[in-house]
Amino acid sequence: MKILVQKFGGTSVANLECMQRVREKVTDSLKRADKIVVVLSARAGDTNNLLALAEQWSKNPDAAECDALVSTGEQVSVSLFTTLLKDNGIKARSLLAYQIPVITDDSFGRARIRSIDSDALRAFFEQYDVLVVAGFQGCTEDKRITTLGRGGSDTSAVALAAALESVECEIYTDVTGVYTTDPNICSTARKMDRIAYSEMLELASMGAKVLHIRSVEFAQKYKVAVRVRSTFNDDPGTLVTQEDFSMEALLVSGIAYDRDQARVTLHAVPDVPGVAAAVFGPLSEKDVLVDMIVQNTSLDDLTDITFTVSRKDLKHTLEIMAKISHSIGAAEVVHDVNVAKVSAIGVGMRNHSGVAARAFAALTQEGINILMISTSEIKITILIKEKYVELAVRILHDTFGLDWDID
């Protein structure tokens, strides 16, 4: 029995017309699979409207009640969509998390899936051809509703595919797949036929928001092949899967960028133990996410600490720095919002030296000054002036030959 898991996001089920298109997709798919699990998000806007209600009702709404509230968004989607399927004579039913059940821990608002009753799912298939499952939601052992956090429907889909084993998981979205970089700023950007989990993780965290990062981690852990494809065409999309040899032939798989960066520098900080903790501890306590961090080698026992944060967090960050700069003895605090970061990602660079050097040389040659650098095993990230972003993306895309397909 061939089972397929297909997930459709909020814009794909936004209204009747959209849902009718999804019905066509699912009906067609019954020609290539025996049974289908359809995972749906809430209709576009519904989740935000429900969260706005909660915030109107309380400054600090109870997390468990909030989950019971927002989970109604997916409940509406699955019941409406199943109605459409049944109208066309398809044997279908909706399933809420507790009806399967999809058991999670009790971290309301950001619950983690613990188990899915795959026997129950298979039993439902004796009676139905399509199971329409509410994404984003789970339930605790004692039957309370939980939600998996933003983008959780992707995770629901991958987890269901994992539970059903050797099943392909299709994530339908409004783009054709994963691109080597943003086609809007680089005309030679190319859709990738496949990409490794690890590369996808680095891309996703950079803002190439095709797949939610937790779903990719889940897919990697349970070896679920995930295909990202479009609701609006028949392109096979991009397969997110394990690394293989052909992938390693490619040094760099994709170029990502992120404009939402603000740089903060603490000048001439005495280089004593505990300084980093004194700087980043208070930021972490206030939920400010620090992205890149660079600390220069100490000179005369004084050091510069530079880091980047999201622009919306800058004001808050500077307030915190103003409070602590005196106590840690920093000479001054400066900041710059006209910065952006560009990354080159690829599992291939793991086995090859010189990738970073090639990237730096290419940018420098075009007169782009590099403000900060950070590297990981499969990623090089470079902070530059924001005005150079498009140029830098095109240079790197070209430098690593991403405009020609070697698959």
**Which residues bind to a copy of itself, rule: CB under 8 A?**
16, 19, 50, 53-54, 56-62, 64-66, 68-69, 71-72, 75-76, 78-80, 82-84, 86-87, 93-94, 96, 98-99, 143-145
Provide the residue count of the chain: 407
| Least distance (Å) between residue 54 CB and a copy of itself | 7
Measured from the CB atom, the residue of 87 and 407 that comes closer to a copy of itself is: 87
| Least distance (Å) between residue 196 CB and a copy of itself | 39
Measured from the CB atom, the residue of 58 and 284 that comes closer to a copy of itself is: 58
| Least distance (Å) between residue 16 CB and a copy of itself | 6
**The pair of three-digit structure tokens given for residue 339, joined into one six-digit string:** 């910065």
| Least distance (Å) between residue 52 CB and a copy of itself | 12
Measured from the CB atom, the residue of 61 and 149 that comes closer to a copy of itself is: 61
Phi and psi torsions of 55, nearest 5°:
-70, -30
Q: Whole-angstrom Cα distance, residue 195 to residue 332?
A: 44
Measured from the CB atom, the residue of 144 and 350 that comes closer to a copy of itself is: 144
Measured from the CB atom, the residue of 54 and 185 that comes closer to a copy of itself is: 54
H or E stretch at 302: strand 302-309
| Least distance (Å) between residue 177 CB and a copy of itself | 30
Going by DSSP bridges, is the β-strand pair 168-173/238-241 parallel, antiparallel, or unpaired?
A: unpaired
Q: Could you give the 3-state DSSP secondary structure of residue 300?
A: coil
Task: Let me know: does 176 contact 216? Beta carbons within 8 Å.
Answer: no
Measured from the CB atom, the residue of 124 and 280 that comes closer to a copy of itself is: 124
Q: Whole-angstrom Cα distance, residue 230 to residue 173?
A: 5
SS3 content of the chain, % helix, strand, coil (to 5): 40, 30, 35
Measured from the CB atom, the residue of 50 and 356 that comes closer to a copy of itself is: 50
- Tell me the CB-side half-sphere exposure of residue 88, using CA atoms within 13 A: 16
For residue 215, give the nearest of 290, 135, 144 by alpha carbon: 135
Measured from the CB atom, the residue of 30 and 84 that comes closer to a copy of itself is: 84
| Least distance (Å) between residue 83 CB and a copy of itself | 5
| Least distance (Å) between residue 126 CB and a copy of itself | 13
Residue type, 167: V
| Least distance (Å) between residue 10 CB and a copy of itself | 16
| Least distance (Å) between residue 70 CB and a copy of itself | 9
Q: For the stretch 185-218, what's the b/e string if a residue is b when 16 or more beta carbons lie within 10 angstroms of its beta carbon?
A: bbeebbbbebbbbbbbbbbbbbebebbbbbbbbb
Q: Give the burial class of 93: count Cβ atoms within 10 A of its Cβ; 0-12 exposed, 13-18 middle, 19 or more buried.
A: middle
- Strand-by-strand arrangement of the 226-230 sheet: 92-95, 130-134, 35-40, 3-8, 168-173, 226-230, 238-241, 194-196
Measured from the CB atom, the residue of 99 and 115 that comes closer to a copy of itself is: 99
DSSP annotation string for 14-72: SSHHHHHHHHHHHHHHTTT-SEEEEEE-PPTTHHHHHHHHHHHH-SS--HHHHHHHHTH
| Least distance (Å) between residue 53 CB and a copy of itself | 7
Measured from the CB atom, the residue of 114 and 143 that comes closer to a copy of itself is: 143
Q: Whole-angstrom Cα distance, residue 108 to residue 123?
A: 29
